[in-house]
Amino acid sequence: MKIVNVVASGSLNTKIKLKELDEILGKSFEFDPEKYHCGYLKLGNRKISIFESGKYIMIGLKDLEELDFLYKKMKEMLPNNINLSEAKQPSISNIVIQDEIERCLDLNKLSIYLGLENVVYEPEEFPGLTFKNEISFNIYSSGKILAFGKDIENIKKELSNLKSELRSF
């Protein structure tokens, strides 16, 4: 079981002038309004999307401890003329965990076994089976599983339950 992506978002609770930020931060900030309507604050190999509304999104984190570090680093890098007194810590929007069982799966049979009302399986459009229970899963014929949710403990619990069920399938 490993975390492959964490997405978190928050708000600086102030309007941001992206063009000014681009001029002040130079190479640490990327803003091209013709490409996209936000700017990207570069923090090492991570980027934080910042919008004029003050909302921000952190994508591509590999563990939950990165959240606090990136939030503090973002606040340090933003210029002093931006009032950050009302800024909100990021909250998790989505966590993706990858795992696998050690065998191949027949997804046609699995879709019936898991209950058609909880499954989307259209192999012409997507190579995996999507199973929605407490959280969402993408299950592949190779035995790989992606689990999606907001709470790490709930994801781990539901993933463990699913793997037990798949072993008996």
- Which three-class secondary structure string do you get for 87-105? CCCCEEEEEEEEEECCCCC
Q: Are residues 112 and 80 in the same domain?
A: no
pLDDT in tens, 51-100: 999 999 999 999 888 999 999 999 999 999 999 999 999 999 999 999 99
59, 92, 125 — which closes off a domain? 92
Structure confidence at residue 140 (pLDDT): 98
Q: Which of 92, 109, 130 lies at the terminal end of a domain, its last residue?
A: 92
pLDDT per position as a tens digit, 113-138 = 999 999 999 999 999 999 998 899 99
Q: Where does the pLDDT of residue 45 fall: very low under 50, low under 70, confident under 90, or very high at 90 and above? A: confident
The per-residue pLDDT for 134 is: 87
CATH of residue 107's domain is: 3.30.310.10
**In the predicted model, what is the mean pLDDT of residues 133-152?**
96
Are residues 74 and 106 both part of a single domain? no
- pLDDT-derived band of residue 155, with 50, 70 and 90 as boundaries? very high
* Cα angle for residues 26, 65, 7 (degrees, 5° grid): 65
Q: Examine the domain organization and report whether 111 and 85 are in the same domain.
A: no
Examine the domain organization and report whether 32 and 67 are in the same domain: yes
Same domain, 15 and 82: yes
Are 30 and 57 in a shared domain?
A: yes
- Cα angle 127, 131, 136 (rounded to 5 degrees) comes to 105
Question: Using CA atoms, how far apart are residues 9 and 24, in angstroms rounded to an integer?
Answer: 23
| Overall domain count for the chain | 2
Same domain? For 85 and 105 the reply is: no
31, 90 Cβ separation under 8 angstroms: no
β-strand pairing of 46-51 with 129-132:
unpaired
Percent above pLDDT 90 for the chain: 92
**Percent of the chain having pLDDT more than 70?**
100
Q: How far, CA to CA in Å, does 130 sit from each of 135, 145, 147, 148?
A: 11, 10, 10, 11
Do 7 and 42 fall within a single domain? yes
Last residue of a domain, one of 92, 118, 143: 92
Domain containing 130 equals 101-168
Residues 157 and 130 in one domain: yes
d(CA 96, CA 101): 17
Q: Looking at the structure, tell me whether residues 112 and 146 fall in a common domain.
A: yes
